[in-house]
Amino acid sequence: MSEQQQNTKQKANHRDGKHPRRKRNGNNGGRRKDKLKVIPIGGLGEIGKNMTAFEYRDEIVIVDCGLKFPDDDMYGIDMVLPDFSYLMENADKVKALLITHGHEDHIGGIAYLLKQINVPIYATKFTMGLIDKKLTEHRLISKAKRHIVKAGDEVQIGSFRAEFIRVNHSIADSVAICIKSPAATVFHTGDFKIDFQPIDGEIIDLQRIAALGSKGVDLLLADSTNVEEAGFTASESTVGETFYNLFRGCKNRIIVTTFASNVHRVQQVIDAAIAYNRKIVINGRSMETMFEVATDLGYIKAPKNAIIDIQEMKKYRPKDLVVITTGSQGEPMAALGRMANGDHRFLQIGKNDTIIISASPVPGNEKMVAEIINKLVDLGSEVVYNKFANIHVSGHGRREEMKMIQTLVKPKNFMPVHGEARMLKHHAALAEALGLDKNHVFVQQNGDVLELDHRGCKMVGKVQAEPVLVDGLGVGDIGNIVLNDRKRLSEDGLFIVVITMNKGRAVSGPDIISRGFVYMRESEELIDGAREEVKKALIKCEKKKITDWKTIKSDIQDALFRYLYKETQRKPMILPILMEV
């Protein structure tokens, strides 16, 4: 065989995920070093903060870096990030950040990661447009190394080769990623559905997925979100027909709320508005940002004269207007929430409004969405939501789509991702029902380290992967102690005792302040009793000649706790304040 033929064969093998045999070091340490580690840092046992690291020898590539919105008991927390500790400890190994799509749970943590590690980013055009907006806000755009890829591209990153494969989802330019290393090949679906009639005509590339499967995939990581739903997810195009039906003959102003990132949904609203000669208003910060990025990059098409500024609405009759707005999840500070509460600057809701909620509540948001709907109905508007019209379809595949991907990829091993604990377990059971041995199915937790090569796969350890809380400008400085304090304050309130001391003796007070516990003017007897309990505690300290402030505070807290619980059966946070004069 000629040298040219050998080079050609090596290149072909490289594309197919095959690599020339490497010499073994002749010891277990050498063989172990040649394995691929798969480390989920976020996204397992939860919906959000998706992030997975792939480590081979002295190189790491990361797939996605998202955020999670706080749970109900995370009082005051703005967002939750993945734990970057392991990546920071191995910063010199981190070579690339690969992004599947532009949803917040996949890109929302990027700016925070880049403040710690300046890693090159690889993403499709629309996804990169959304990332650029975030990096600009954080003043990182000039430092970030950004590489735009498209579906079908392959990039070489050290020993890794990453191939981007088109999938369908509820946001444009979504891709799956096949990561090939000398040790193993991993296929990561990202978030996906199978849509044979997508709005942009870009059908999921099942042919390429099947081709990769035929060449051998050692591990499949697959989206588990809709595993509890039977059948197939409906095509996004079905929603457009509903919009046309709702717009036809409607004499009201139409207000449509949906996820800002769903540019295909927004395009269908625009198309229906233009078909019925309505002017379009874009409202809400995230919707305005998305619309700007999508129109600049050509993902949304609308005649310039069809879009008007919100302040121009008064020039038009209600039946000539469509407002596309944020607030589909019932967020009180989003545009629709402000309308429902009557404090929107430009939009007051009334009987001349038809409001279409083109989204389903994210788990945990059902109550907020119901409250917004009730408020809008009370204001006299007509509200249309998913229970009464087919105005929303999911961006995630259901069980039959998961089966199809599993069958096409034919993985040797499987790890469900992107889902709460029950979803991961159900997806694992589905893989086993399709014939995969249960010893090759791994239901992991964040931080678990999975090690594999072409011969096998096993769990070998764990890295730190605790949730990192963001509160204002503080990142990671809020922990369980502070959250527990906030929880107590929210449940039983605060009881403050102020005493002026001189040489260990009280000379003034106790003065009492109650916040969120009792209204003092209506609870004078309780407050007077509390003062007496504090005085008794101080007298005991004086008799025992206790001058240590820490002990005095502790005795006051104990006395007040017993008294207040006896009188109210409640446990406020008690805060004694001693001042020296």
- Whether 365 is covered by a domain: the verdict is yes
CA distance 552 to 550: 6
Cα separation, 148 vs 374, in Å, equals 44
pTM of the model: 0.81
Domain assignment present for residue 544? The answer is yes
pLDDT of residue 531: 86
3-state SS assignment for residue 22: coil
User: Which of 11-20, 66-75, 135-144 has the weakest average pLDDT?
Assistant: 11-20
> 185 with 261, same domain?
no
Give the CATH number, domain containing residue 337. Answer: 3.40.50.10710
542 contact partners, CB below 8 Å, separation of at least 6 = 504, 505
- With bands split at pLDDT 50, 70 and 90, how would you rate the model's confidence at 478? low
pLDDT above 70 for 246: yes
Specify if 482 maps to a domain: no
**pLDDT-derived band of residue 6, with 50, 70 and 90 as boundaries?**
very low
The pLDDT assigned to 23 comes to 39
**Which range is least confidently modeled, 46-60, 394-408, 455-469?**
455-469
Are residues 221 and 247 both part of a single domain?
Answer: no
Helix and strand tally (H, E) in the chain?
Answer: 17, 26
Q: Which helix (H) or strand (E) holds 10?
A: helix 3-15
Same domain membership, residue 53 and residue 23? no
Report if residue 480 sits inside a domain. Answer: no
Q: Is residue 88 part of a domain?
A: yes
- Residues 63, 169 within the same domain: yes
Span 167-187, mean pLDDT?
A: 97
> Tens digits of per-residue pLDDT, 307-329?
999 999 999 999 999 999 999 99
Of 443, 474, 505, the one marking the end of a domain is: 474
Residue 390 lies inside a defined structural domain of this protein: no
pLDDT value at residue 308: 96
For range 25-38, the mean pLDDT: 65
Is residue 227 domain-shared with residue 338, that is, in the same domain? no
Higher per-residue pLDDT: 341 or 515: 341
Together in a domain, 86 and 25: no
Catalytic residues: 223, 396
**406 and 435 in a common domain:** yes
Per-residue pLDDT at 571: 83
Does residue 12 carry a pLDDT above 50?
no
Query: Does residue 42 contact residue 48 with C-beta atoms inside 8 Å?
Result: yes
Starting at the earlier edge strand, list the strands of the sheet with 219-223.
154-157, 160-166, 175-180, 185-188, 219-223, 413-417
CATH number of the structural domain spanning residue 467 = 3.60.15.10
Overall residue count recorded for the chain in this entry: 581
Cβ atoms 442, 414 nearer than 8 A: yes
pLDDT tier, 477 (very low <50, low <70, confident <90, very high otherwise): low
Residue with tokens 């919105």: 69
User: Can you give the CATH number for the domain in which 517 is found?
Assistant: 3.10.20.580
- 18: confidence class by pLDDT, cuts 50, 70, 90: very low
pLDDT for residue 4: 44
pLDDT at 14 over 60: no
Domain containing 116 equals 35-231+395-474
Arithmetic mean of pLDDT, 340-363: 92
Q: How confident is the model at residue 45 (pLDDT cuts 50, 70, 90)?
A: very high
Same-domain pairing of 48 and 115: yes
Cis peptide before 82 (omega within 30 of 0): no
Report the distance separating Cα 476 and Cα 531, nearest Å.
39
Same domain for 73 and 128: yes
The answer to whether residues 294 and 172 touch, using CB atoms and an 8 Å cutoff, is: yes
> Looking at the structure, do residues 170 and 275 belong to the same domain, yes or no?
no
Q: Are 300 and 291 in contact (CB under 8 A)?
A: yes
Of 19-28, 59-68, 201-210, which gets the smallest average pLDDT?
Answer: 19-28
Q: How confident is the model at residue 201 (pLDDT cuts 50, 70, 90)?
A: very high
The reply to whether 260 and 404 lie within a common domain is no
Model confidence at 578, pLDDT cuts 50, 70, 90, reads: confident
Domain for residue 402, yes or no?
Answer: yes
User: What pLDDT is stored for residue 363 in this prediction?
Assistant: 72
Residues 40 and 110 in one domain: yes
Q: What CA–CA distance (Å, rounded) separates 236 from 392?
A: 8
Name the domain boundary from 474, 506, 534: 474
Token pair belonging to 81: 């990030």
Domain annotation covers residue 246: yes
Listed residues 439, 474, 509: the one ending a domain: 474
Q: How confident is the model at residue 565 (pLDDT cuts 50, 70, 90)?
A: confident
Count of the separate structural domains present in the chain: 4
Is the pLDDT at 486 greater than 70? The verdict is: no
Query: Interior CA angle at 342 toward 339 and 347, to 5°?
Result: 50
